[in-house]
Structure 1
Amino acid sequence: LVCALVAQAQSASSKPPSSSAQTDTALQELVNRATRDALSKFEDKNFQEGNLAITLIDLTDQQHPRQASFRGGEGIYPASVVKLFYLVMAHHLLEEGKIKETNELRRAMKDMIVDSSNDATGYVLDVITGTTSGPELTGAELKKWEDRRNSVNRYFAGLGFAGINTSQKTYCEGPYGREQMFRGAKGENRNKMTTDAVARLLSEIATGRAVTPERSAMMMGLLKRDFSGKSSDADDQSHGFTGIALEPGARLWSKAGWTSTTRHDAAYIELPNGAHFVLVTFTTDHANERDIIPTVARVIINGMSKK
């Protein structure tokens, strides 16, 4: 599987994929249409522009990727989508030999992405930052702990990612002790993402540019979703988000995130007509409206199917 994914990432051309996507008028109109459809369909639910963010990157021509977005630079709590960043950071440190590859780390990375386990995510973040949860800290001890935890932010800032915060664990209930001190009583330092940043990272994974082609392929193996059949779980990452809008013959790799106030999906899609693209959709304050993301996706997929 890894070998096949590496070959897939390199098959489009002997030239390496471009590291930056250019804005495109036609693609922007497609995103605008998806935005209008979603806002109109859920208008009676008081779904407004401030509750939606979308970024689309067309990777069909990997040497000339194109991008469009709606509120793509807006900082939003990412829920479990942040786990993509922790996955890449872990592979970076493994590649550099700065952390050890163990069966337990492999198990946690898999559960973090495949099942979106918060416990697994906490373990991975501990390993990649050299920090652990526990009682409150003060003074120099706290500063040292915070500096280590912010190493993920420094790594991605060095790669040119802006407007994001990737330093907090994900929880079923909430943080305590030093974790609460670091996050802030009102969530002042909670995780933050833009759909532009997420789309960029997922496009780098999909095109073999995240860490190394081999490690990108390993990540893609964890992100692969089978959206065929049905699921009784409305939060199933294969069937409860972008996958709802896909028809047989398409392929999906994704990482979703959801809380009581957010519902997001970051998806890389390959269509039967040869179109390859990343679609990241964030929604806020309408977490129970499970058809918003598929509504956006249907418009995008329809437009990309006509290429």
Structure 2
Amino acid sequence: MQIKKRFFAALLAAFITTAINAATPSIPKLTDSHNTRLQQGLEKALAKMGLDTPARQGKLAVALVDITDARQPRFASINGREMMYAASLPKIAILLGAFARIESGDMQLDAETRQTLVKMIRFSSNTAATEMLNRVGKEFLVNLLQSPRYALYDSKHDGGLWVGKEYGKSPAFKRDPLRNLSHGANVFQVARFYYMLETGQLVSPAYSKEMKAILGQPAIRHKFVKGLSSVRPGALLYRKSGSWRQWHADSAIVEHDGHRYIAVALAHDQQGSKWLEKIIVAMDDLVIKSLPRRITFFDKAMQARANPLMQ
């Protein structure tokens, strides 16, 4: 009798799991989500700002992903696969590495660890980043970024996110194989990072939610934050930027008025920070004007995956 009960309980659990999986739409890939209309709009916006020339010269790269309808992301980019020095932006890779360690039980998400992660992301503390990089493990992080699970760096093709040096005066321990960069990125892989985060694919849905919270409430108010503050003062940004000499970078999930999108930009110019202030406003306009606000079943399903309490 007990054997029958256990059998039917297992059968019921399997049926429920199958039903839930069938009801939750599969998550599209950004490589399959290129949108011609958004691409044309992005190219025209850069030309209108006089930034098409820097883009042609390889001094500017941008990516935009409208995820207002997460089931149908609309992706556009310029120089999307071109790696550039990204300063502090690749600290998001260290954030991922920390939560991978937390998932495996090698690190605890206690108050001290969380505070170190907040300092690294919101305040861009180099000291906190170096401490966390060493706790995660340098080789562990390099391998994680290249792992099939995440594939955020591809040494055989276009590279991606890379951390090969502490954030300090010490020499690089492993520069990226393609461009010899210590801290590098291309906008496509950064956009993938944020899309995977938003859809609960980084480590786990619950830990994706934790990482997104840490990326929120940015303390450094320049570039994307400054650009949006005047036109969308109520916008929420989950963001990581970077600056070093003439290199400028910013990346964010932006949410306001029922819209949600991913914006990434890398610039190599003394005026790069000013460029990014203007670019984010133009990208925001593209998203707002091209599609009405839409909340879908897929959005709710993804939110439930990221927050078990909603299930």
Q: Which residue does the alignment assign to 2:227?
A: 245
Give yes or no for contact 1:53–1:195 (8 Å, CA) kept in 2.
yes
- Equivalent residue for 1:284, pick from 268, 280, 288: 268
Matched to 1:39, the amino acid is G
SS in 1 for 2:273: coil
Distance (whole Å) between structure 1 residues aligned to residue 123 and residue 235 of structure 2:
22
Kindly provide the amino acid, as one letter, of the partner of residue 278 in structure 2. T
Residue 270 of structure 1 pairs with residue 255 of structure 2: yes
Contact 1:23 1:66 in 2 (8 A): yes
1:258 positional shift: 0.6
Q: In structure 2, what is the equivalent of residue 225 of structure 1?
A: 217
Which amino acid is the alignment partner of residue 202 of structure 2?
Answer: A
- The range that moved more, 158-167 or 65-74, is 158-167
Q: State the 1:148 CA deviation.
A: 4.9
Check conservation: 2:163, 2:183, Cα contact below 8 A.
yes
Contact map agreement 2:145 2:151 (CA 8 A) in 1: no
Does 2:27 correspond to 1:18? yes
Structure 2 residues not aligned, in runs of 5+:
1-22, 292-311
**TM-score, structure 2 normalization:** 0.74
Aligned partner of 2:199: which letter?
Answer: T
State which of 39, 42, 59 in structure 2 corresponds to 1:28. 39
* Change over 3 Å in CA distance of 1:159–1:283 after alignment to 2: same
How much has 1:248 moved relative to structure 2?
A: 2.6
Counterpart for residue 140 of structure 1: none
Corresponding position: 1:169 with 2:169: no
Contact 1:80 1:170 in 2 (8 A): no
Q: Tell me, what secondary structure is at the counterpart of 2:233? A: coil
1:39 to 40, 50, 53: 50
The CA deviation string for residues 45-78 of structure 1, in whole angstroms up to 9 with x for no partner, is x786411000111111111112110001001111
The 3 A distance-change label for structure 1 pair 189 and 29 is: closer
- Contact 1:249/1:271, CA 8 A, preserved across alignment: yes
Segments of 5+ residues of structure 1 without an aligned counterpart are 1-13, 132-146, 227-235
Tell me: higher relative CO, structure 1 or 2? Use CA pairs within 8 A at least 6 residues apart. Answer: 1
Displacement after TM superposition at 1:250 (Å): 2.1
| Aligned equivalent of 1:151 | 143
Q: CA deviation at 1:206?
A: 2.4
**How much identity, in percent, do the aligned residues show?**
25
Structure 1 length as normaliser, TM-score? 0.75
The amino acid across from 1:264 in the alignment is A
Distance in 2, Cα, partners of 1:149 & 1:58: 29
